[in-house]
Structure 1
C-alpha cells in the first residue's frame, strides 16, 4: 500500500489559522474532538477515507495536503480511501451484503469478480484499467496480469459461474440453484446447503465453501474437488479441459494439445482422460446436431 502522508502539524496550523475548534473539525469529518486531538498529538492518524474529507474541508487539493511519495502508485485500498469510502461502505457500491469481496481483494487474497469492476471504477472515479492495475498492486504485482491469466476463474463465485456457462453445450440447460442444492445434499447424505446458500456462493455474497459442499459441487459438475481450492493450476486444467471438449464438438480439435497451460502443464492422468473423451465423443458425434449429453 502507498498511503498518503498525514502532517499533523500542518493540519493543526490550518485549523488554528481558521479559528476552528477541534470539536468543529471533528463534527465536519464525522469524528469526536478527542479523535482530532489524538491526530494532532500524533498518537493516531486518520483512516484513509477521512483524508479527502479533511482536504475538502480546508479547501485544498488532496495531493497537496496529503501527498504520496514520488513514484508511489495507488492500490485498491488507496483508490477507495481517495474516493472517501470506508471498507464497510464498499458493500453498497457493489450491491452485496458483505464488504468481503472488496476486503479480500485489498488484502491480496482474492481478485474482484468481473461484475464489480464497473461499479467500483465509477465510484472511485477511475477507469476499469486503472482499477485493475491498482488491484495488481494489492497483490504485489506491478505489471497487469496477462489476459489469459486474468480470465481464469479464481473466486468460488467465478468458478461456479464458469462451470454453469461451459459445462452444458447445445440445448442442455444448467441446473438451477434448487437443483444444485439437491444434488449436493444427496451427495452429503444430509442437508448441508439450501438454494439460497447456492445463490450466495454463486453471486459472491458468501465466499466460504465448506469441504462437503465443494465435494458435492465437484461430483455434480464432474470436476476434481481441487478445482475449488486456491491452486490456480487445477482450475486452469479444468478450464482448458472444458475448452478442448467444446472444441472437439465442432471438429476444431482431434487430439488434445496442452498449449497455454504454463510450465506445470497438464497431468498425465488428466491428459489421458481428455484424449479418451475426445475419441469417444468423436465417434458418437452426429454432424449437424448437438450430440448426446454427458
Structure 2
C-alpha cells in the first residue's frame, strides 16, 4: 500500500488496495473473511439482480482489473457499509476519514476503547481529526504503555 498516512498503517490508493483494506478492517474480527463468491452473492442478493460476478470481484481485489462501473463500486461500498467515495479514485480525504473510522471501530471492537463521553461522542459526531488523534493515542499506548504507569505501580502518583 502507499505510504500516504502517518502511523503504522498506510492508506490504500488503488482499487485493489481499497478492497483488501475493507476486507481486513470492515469485517468484524469475530467473522470469517468472506470469499469472492460470498461477497458477490451477497451484493447480487441485496441488489435483486446480478451486479458483479465472483470472478470480476476477484479480479478487482487482486488488481487484475483496475476499474469498473459506478454501479459496481456503489454496490461494493454498500456491502462494506462505507461511503461510496472510498472506492472512487482521487478521494484521498474520504479514504483517510473512513480509514480513521474503521481504526476507531476496530479499537472499540477489540476493547481498546470501552466507551466515549461528551457531546458528539457518537461515531457520526467525531471529526476525522479527533478520530486520528484517538487512534494515535491508542497506537502509542499499545507500543509504549500508559505514560506514568511505572510510577503508579511503584506507589507514586
**TM-score of the two chains, using structure 1 as the length reference:** 0.37
2:102 corresponds to which of 231, 239, 242: 242
Q: What residue is the counterpart of 1:255 in the other structure? A: 116
What is the number of residues matched between the two proteins?
123
Return 5+ residue gaps in structure 2 as ranges: 129-157
Contact 2:4-2:10 within 8 A present in 1 as well: no
Q: What residue is the counterpart of 1:155 in the other structure? A: 14
2:57 corresponds to which of 168, 187, 198: 198
Larger Rg: 1
Contact 1:157-1:202 within 8 A present in 2 as well: yes
Cα separation, 2, equivalents of 1:145 and 1:232:
9
Q: What residue is the counterpart of 2:138 in the other structure? A: none
RCO higher in 1 or 2 (8 Å CA, sep ≥ 6)? Answer: 2
Q: CA deviation at 1:157?
A: 0.5
Contact 2:27-2:33 within 8 A present in 1 as well: yes
1:232 corresponds to which of 92, 104, 107: 92
**TM-score of the two chains, using structure 2 as the length reference:** 0.65
Q: CA deviation at 1:219?
A: 1.4
Divergent runs of 4+, >4 A: 144-150
Contact 1:184-1:213 within 8 A present in 2 as well: no
Q: What residue is the counterpart of 2:31 in the other structure? A: 172
Return 5+ residue gaps in structure 1 as ranges: 1-112, 115-143, 257-267, 275-294
